[in-house]
Structure 1
């Protein structure tokens, strides 16, 4: 019962004592009464050893602290608490409710996703786990009981966008299985919505799960399949994003020539100008500055001396609200300095990266920081 809690705590590099302090801090900030530190020490130990069940009050604190769902905390069913349609009258009520979802309501769903995307970018994913879980559940329930294609497609498109964001947040929080399942949900929704761009984007992001798991060759194949799935229906900016993704994963697969070719393709597809947002795919932020950072990341992975200039240029122009992106950029700079034997500079960037990763609760970045520290 307590393995999920222990694993999440360890993934953040927190001791039990640190978790106790974080629970106390959360209680003070949110004016929520919690037990004394001495009692919390006992609770945490007993939670992790399966001797005490996590109460709903403490589950509500641990979820945003660690970025976990109830299922991940103590193995509850995904469907726990969701009422099931029981009998024809109840079924028809749900169908009627889903069919009455107007375009205005779909727009509201999309606005919620956009709000969560902004909060995630600035504050990190962990604190959004409850909101995102509820958001995806509401969209799934609406789609499950919508009948005709004209009613289903707009909801499916909204679900594809939200599930892809939820998957990336789960990956960042270290919830790998949830990330994978959300990507699969996003792909199914995109296919039902007949939206090749949303399908290609979900597949491209899903490739990172495989890459992080140590299967870069399979990840390269998936991101290339994403480009084929999009065909001629995807925007130039998304095409550039997919090529840059391919370049990053090729670098990790040791495919240097293919990596450089993909980087060149990304630069060729990327529309000129300072605009970063893709109007056809709002989850894509990519302009020359972002691509310079990406190029630096890729070249650093290849051990190329040209990485340094691209990375420092990207750091200078980075939007200060992209907190998680800066953490990743600092890791890239540390990697580039390590390749040159410049250990003091690498150490400095890793310290900054760790602070930023702590602010956003990024397990993924913390794992990379720990790997880079081994080279010091």
Structure 2
């Protein structure tokens, strides 16, 4: 059976030699004994052609390097756990799930927060196994939770974690996994009766549609998210959704709609000095973040004032948002190119490439390469 190694490698923009180099480097860091460079080159070729099976030892190196799950790497369906015969095991799992509300749910939330912090600082590629296991544990708990009072807190925790897993998958170029994770998040949000988590998942899922070449459908989805029990949505979430609509409209060339959405986001954003949404910690948005977003939208619209917005936000955004920094430097590259300021554009492009490589972001690496291609460098 063929495997997904070649596609994942190509998504990184790596040659087979680069993959071998990165495998050796990671193995040395983790003190794992692997084959020589010459042997690895043969292995990679045979893995990609289906002539050799990827062993667990090498899969444990390739997954974090490429930001893929085991099923995506090997091109196989995830094997389902064998069903246990009898009622005793079923009742044990139901009883265990019944105790989660007061015990494990806070631990689930803390683990999601840790993974979110690691993701924005280091990127998603090395977190695939941890994220998949984390989400699977919550899905399993929800499966065996019977009463509504037990199910709701688990479902809310799952909604937040699945949305994060989906965004990580999208950043790693695993589009199918991203889409499916958003569907899990939406279903969990509905189980939790949380319009906030549902609207957020819909808003992020719109990016999948936009990048797949369905910009109008993406805009319609984020607008539907804004209509999803609007009266129960927090102001910061509504500002976030309006900003998302502005970005998607700008990318689709709908200037008037983009500017209207930006104005709405500005008017909705609370002036409370906070960075995160108290009701949903997945949302990070304050005046500095919005300035960066506004600059991104203006760049897409070809507005010359974008560069002032971008430089203003450059010093204001938290340095721990490393991946977001890659996007900001891409925007600055594009803004300088529009003004014919080639040397400034080159400097920001180099910084964007460095940050994209540092976080393993396939999305931003593609944008960097697109900027290189469009500039003729």
Instruction: Please say if 1:328 is aligned against 2:314.
Output: no
Mapping for residues 23-34 of structure 1, pairs under 5 Å: 23-34=23-34
Unaligned runs of 5+ in 2: none
Is residue 2:347 matched to residue 1:348? Answer: yes
Q: Report matched runs for 1:117-128 at 5 Å.
A: 117-128=116-127
Counterpart Cα distance in 2 of 1:78 and 1:212: 26
Structure 2 SS opposite 1:102? helix
Match of 2:45 in 1: 45
What residue number does 2:17 align with?
Answer: 17
**Once the 2 structures are TM-superposed, how far is the Cα of residue 2 of structure 1 from its aligned partner?**
4.7
Alignment of 1:69-218 (within 5 A): 69-80=69-80, 82-218=81-217
Question: What is the CA-CA distance between 1:77 and the residue it aligns to?
Answer: 2.3
Asked whether the equivalents of residues 3 and 76 of structure 2 are also in contact (C-alpha less than 8 Å), the reply is no
Query: 1:165, 1:79 → 2: CA distance?
Result: 23
| Partner SS for 2:318 | coil
Q: For the residues of structure 2 that align with 1:217 and 1:338, how far apart are their CA atoms? A: 27
What are the Cα deviations for residues 59-94 of structure 1, in whole angstroms up to 9, with x where unaligned? Answer: 0111101010011011232244x3434332222222
Match of 2:310 in 1: 311
Measure how far apart 1:216 and its partner are: 0.9
Runs ≥4 residues deviating over 3 A: none
Do the aligned residues in 2 keep the contact of 1:2 with 1:73 (CA within 8 Å)?
Answer: no
Deviation at 1:3, TM superposition (A): 4.3
Contact 1:186 1:202 in 2 (8 A): yes
| Secondary structure of the structure 1 residue equivalent to 2:180 | helix
**Could you tell me the TM-score, scaled by structure 2's length?**
0.97
CA separation in 2, counterparts of 1:245 and 1:152? 30
Conservation of the 8 A alpha-carbon contact between 2:101 and 2:154:
no
RMSD of Structure 2 on Structure 1 (CA): 1.1
Instruction: Please name the residue that 1:64 is paired with.
Output: 64
Deviations 1:107-162 (A, max 9, x none): 10000000000000100000000000000100000001111111111100000000
Question: 2:374 is paired with a residue of what secondary structure?
Answer: coil
C-alpha displacement of 1:103: 2.1
Q: Which runs of 5+ in 1 are unaligned?
A: none
For structure 1, which segment, 232-241 or 266-275, has the greater mean C-alpha deviation from structure 2 after superposition? 266-275
Superimposed CA distance per residue, residues 15-60 of structure 1 (whole angstroms, 9 cap, x where no aligned partner): 1000000000001101111111111111111100101000001101
Give 1:368's aligned residue: 367
Are the structure 2 counterparts of residues 102 and 273 from structure 1 closer, same or farther at C-alpha, using a change threshold of 3 Å?
closer
**How many residues get paired?**
375
Could you tell me how far 1:224 is from its partner in structure 2? 0.4
**Secondary structure of the structure 2 residue equivalent to 1:304:** coil
Question: Matched residues in 2 for 1:357 and 1:345: separation?
Answer: 18
> Could you tell me whether the CA contact under 8 Å between 1:85 and 1:94 is conserved in 2?
no
Distance in 1, Cα, partners of 2:125 & 2:64: 5
